[in-house]
Structure 1
Amino acid sequence: MFLSELYRYPVKSGQAQRLLSSQVGLLGLQGDRRWMVVEEENGRFLTQRAWPQLGQLQAIDEGNGTLLLRAPGQALLQVPVPEADVDLRGVTLWRDTFRVPDAGDAAAAWLSQWLGVKVRLVHCPEQRARYLPNGYGTNADRAAFADGFALLLIGQASLDALNQRVGRPMEMLRFRPNLVVQGAEAFAEDGWERIRIGSLEFRVLKPSVRCIFTTIDPATGERSPDREPMTTLKTFRQKEGDVLFGQNLAADGCGYLEVGMPVEVL
Structure 2
Amino acid sequence: MPTITTLTLYPIKSCAGIDLPAATVTATGLSHQHVHDREWMLVDSAGQFLTQRSHPVMALIVPLLQADTMTVHAPDMPPLAIPTAPLQPGSLPAVAVQIWDDTVIAHDCGDHAAGWFTRVLGQPCRLVRFDPECERLASKKWTNEAAVPTRFPDGFPMLLISQGSLHDLNQKLQAQGRAALPMNRFRPNIVIDGVEAFEEDFVATIQAGPVCLRPVKPCARCPMPSIDQATGEFGPDPLDILATYRANPRVDGGITFGVNAILQEGDGEILRVGQEIALELDF
Identify whether the pair has TM-score above 0.5, normalized to the shorter chain: yes
- Once residues 14 and 166 of structure 1 are traced to their aligned partners in structure 2, the CA distance between those partners, rounded to angstroms, is 26
3-state secondary structure, aligned to 1:195: strand
Alignment of 1:190-201 (within 5 A): 190-201=201-212
- Once residues 132 and 27 of structure 2 are traced to their aligned partners in structure 1, the CA distance between those partners, rounded to angstroms, is 8
Partner of 1:250 in structure 2?
Answer: 262
Question: In the alignment, is residue 36 of structure 1 matched against residue 36 of structure 2?
Answer: no
Cα RMSD (Å) of the superposition?
A: 1.5
- Once residues 98 and 24 of structure 2 are traced to their aligned partners in structure 1, the CA distance between those partners, rounded to angstroms, is 28
- Once residues 119 and 88 of structure 2 are traced to their aligned partners in structure 1, the CA distance between those partners, rounded to angstroms, is 25
> Deviations 1:211-243 (Å, cap 9, x if unpaired)?
10011111111212x42x111000100123300
Alignment of 1:100-119 (within 5 A): 100-119=106-125
- Once residues 28 and 157 of structure 2 are traced to their aligned partners in structure 1, the CA distance between those partners, rounded to angstroms, is 6
- Once residues 57 and 5 of structure 1 are traced to their aligned partners in structure 2, the CA distance between those partners, rounded to angstroms, is 20
Distance of aligned partners of 1:83 and 1:136 in 2 relative to their CA distance in 1, 3 Å threshold: farther
- Once residues 179 and 129 of structure 1 are traced to their aligned partners in structure 2, the CA distance between those partners, rounded to angstroms, is 24
Moved runs in structure 1, 4+ residues, more than 3 A? 81-86
What number of residue pairs does the alignment pair up?
262
Partner of 1:210 in structure 2?
Answer: 221
TM superposition shift of 1:140: 3.8
Partner of 1:4 in structure 2?
Answer: 5
> Deviations 1:121-177 (Å, cap 9, x if unpaired)?
001143224100231225441111110001011010010001111113111001000
- Once residues 3 and 178 of structure 1 are traced to their aligned partners in structure 2, the CA distance between those partners, rounded to angstroms, is 11
3-state secondary structure, aligned to 1:69: strand
Alignment of 1:150-229 (within 5 A): 150-167=157-174, 168-224=179-235, 226-227=236-237, 229=238
Distance of aligned partners of 1:108 and 1:22 in 2 relative to their CA distance in 1, 3 Å threshold: same
Partner of 1:75 in structure 2?
Answer: 78
Gaps of 5+ in 1: none
TM superposition shift of 1:95: 1.1
- Once residues 213 and 82 of structure 2 are traced to their aligned partners in structure 1, the CA distance between those partners, rounded to angstroms, is 33
> Deviations 1:193-218 (Å, cap 9, x if unpaired)?
11101320011111001010011111
- Which of the numbers 36, 42, 49 marks the counterpart of 1:45? 49
Question: In the alignment, is residue 262 of structure 1 matched against residue 262 of structure 2?
Answer: no
> Deviations 1:85-143 (Å, cap 9, x if unpaired)?
54111111111111111111111111112222111100114322410023122544111
- 145-154 or 77-86, which moves further after superposition? 77-86
Which letter maps to 1:265?
A: L
Gaps of 5+ in 2: none
* Contact 2:43 2:126 survives alignment (8 Å): yes
3-state secondary structure, aligned to 2:244: helix
- Once residues 112 and 125 of structure 1 are traced to their aligned partners in structure 2, the CA distance between those partners, rounded to angstroms, is 22
Which letter maps to 2:29?
A: G
